[in-house]
Structures are given as C-alpha cells and as structure tokens.
Amino acid sequence: MREGVRSAYQRRAGEYVQALGSLDVMASNDRQLISEWAESLTGRVVDAGCGPGHWTQLLYESGVDVVGIDMVEEFVESAKERFPSTPFEVGDFASLPFEDMQLGGILAWYSTIHIPPTEMPAVLDEFVRCLQPGGSLLMGFFSGEDIEKFNHAIAPAYFWPPDELRDELSQRGLSVVRVQTRHDLGSRPHGALWARKTPREELPVSNQPSDQRSEGMVLSEELRTAAEAEGIEKFVVGAVIHDVGRVLVVTRSLSDDFLPGLEEVPSGGVDSGEGLSEALNRELTEEVGFAAEHVDPGFLEWFDYESRSGRRTRQFTVSVPLTGRQVKLSEEHTSYRWISSEQVDSTNATPETKNLLRSWFTAAL
C-alpha cells in the first residue's frame, strides 16, 4: 500500500507542486492554526510527510527548528530547490529516524490520509515514541461521520471522525487540546487535531503539599485528615469535566438560595460518613447524570471559604473526562455550556471558580 501511494505521487509530483505547493492556495484558517501551533513549540520538529514543503517553510520562517521528511524523492528535490535554507530529507514517517522522546513537535498535515485504518495505530505509536513529554502533534485529515474509504485524486484515502481519531490519540497518552473542522463549498470536510503529550503526573498541581502529589493521592482520605487538623469543618467535592479542550460549567437555578444564577463546576457537599470519592460520584450523578468513572491523575485544586452557617469549608476539585457521555442536569441547575480558556473571564462564576478554571487550562495546555 505504501509503495503504491509513493509511486502514485511520484508520477504526479510536478503537477501536485504546481497546484498545491504554495501557502497562497491554502485555507487561511489552516495557515492561522499552524502558525499558532508553531508559536507553542520548543525543540526539534518534524513535518512528517511534508510533500512540496510549503508548511515546512512556514515553520522554518516562524523560527522553528524543523526538518521536512517525505518518501517521495521528487517532492524533496523540489522543496530543496524552492526553499534552499530549509532542511528536507527523504524518509518514511512510519519509521522516523529519531530516538525516543527526541522531538518537540510533529506536523502530520494530511500526510496520513492514505493510511488504512488497520495501519494507523502503528503510525500513531511511532509519533508518540518520538515525542518528548510536553511535545505536540498537529494532524490534518478529511473529516467524516465514519471511518470510510474514498477515491482520492492520487490514491485511495480515508475519512476519519474527529472523535475516533481523538480516542486513538488519547489511548496513547496524548491530550487533545483543540479540534477544528471546516467544510468549504464544493470540497470534502476537513478536520484538524492538536494534541499534546503531557504525562498527567507532570501537570502542575497548585495548593497541594509536595508530599501529596503522587498519582494515587487524588481525593485520598489523607487530604481530609490533614485539612481537619487545620481546622476545616466541612468539605465539598467537584469536578472540572472536560472534552476536547473545553470544560463544563453549569448554571444554578435562580430560585436557589445559595449563589442563584451563578455558573460553577459540578460540585456538592460531602455527607457525614461519606468518603471523598464516594461523595464525588454521588454529586456528579445527581447534577450531571453520570459518575466520575475515571479521575485524571495529577490534577487537584482546592480553595477554602466560610459557609453560610459560618463553618470553615474546603472544596476539592479534580479533573474528569467526559468520554462521550451525555449531560443530564438536575433541577438545581437550569442550563450548562462548554467554555474554552478564552471564555473563563466571561462567566459570572465566583473568583475562586475562575481561578480554578484558569489553573485547569494552564495545566492542560
């Protein structure tokens, strides 16, 4: 399959470079996305399947330490002629010539569209192998409702649902921080995924003593014991529920006698005799219709306040992935929405909740 694709591009390389080898004919939002991605990069970067090399050149001009790799010699020769200052090499992105965790970023911009679904896991494994912790992958692909083969002008290609591709990346320890789709008139639907390889145990955890930052200490009962020793009398547990780089905020009913109409993360008090994790699952089930099931290790925030009854209260908040579940609000809340990092300041949440959300986005991004 790979040899057939290479041969097909070799036969039409000149035509392809002339038609699609310039940034001038690329979609403006694609240029903007790749430029934004470039600003986030540190370390060596590979344009995997660089084709005519125009995206490699954009990264190079953005100050990125980049090399373009493509298995089509004609593309590499053309790129070297047109962009003599930018490094290009002949190679196969399914077997990158780099040591483990050597790369700060990989751009795979429509270079995986011809990979059969059965072979995609191995390609993604190779990308993950080469990425260093904190490194990121930006993929461009044809978006569809199902994984489906179609007749591409060069060789057979595949549509991928963004959620399916996101799941493949998540299974390999990559956190998807942005999903972008577009469907221009007269063209196929396009998609892009920006994912970051950041081990959860390395995410920053503010307000947490250094001896309590291990993976197994998320909502440990030792947290409550330590808090009680500080004079904390009441506990609340909550969750930043997240999906593709956005987080869930729910709006309290106007008839509620506590913070009416304010946005918040799903949360609630710990009942007498309840464990922290037990209370979290109960509260989430009551407020959004599902239990935590999985709590992301490495993220835990807390803040203290005085309850209406004058009791010193501490709220612990963890990070919980949505993983395809449906939100079903309780009567306590009237609506919900998904917000990005740029929308945190637009909420009417309390300052404590806004700071919590900022901390989550800082850790995730």
One digit per residue, the tens of pLDDT, for the chain of length 365 reads 577 788 888 887 778 778 776 777 788 888 889 999 999 898 999 999 999 999 999 999 999 999 999 999 999 999 999 999 999 999 999 999 999 899 999 999 999 999 999 999 999 999 999 998 889 999 999 999 999 999 988 889 999 999 899 888 888 878 888 888 887 766 788 999 999 886 444 444 444 333 333 333 478 888 888 889 889 999 999 999 998 788 999 998 887 666 688 899 999 999 988 999 999 999 999 999 999 888 887 788 888 888 878 889 999 999 999 887 888 998 888 888 999 988 999 899 988 899 899 889 887 76
> How many CB atoms are located within 10 Å of the residue 84 CB?
8
Look up residue 105 and give its amino acid: G
CA angle 84, 85, 90 (to 5 degrees): 65
User: What is the structure's pLDDT at 48?
Assistant: 97
User: What is the structure's pLDDT at 316?
Assistant: 93
In contact, 314 and 227? CB cutoff 8 Å: yes
Percentages helix, strand, coil for the chain (3-state, rounded to 5) are 35, 30, 40
Question: pTM for the whole thing?
Answer: 0.57
The single residue listed with the structure tokens 């072979």 is 119
Give the C-alpha separation, 90 to 168, whole Å: 27
In contact, 313 and 307? CB cutoff 8 Å: yes
For residue 322, what are its two tokens? 């949505």
Q: Domains along the chain?
A: 2-198 (3.40.50.150), 208-364 (3.90.79.10)
User: What is the structure's pLDDT at 213?
Assistant: 33
Give the C-alpha separation, 116 to 149, whole Å: 8
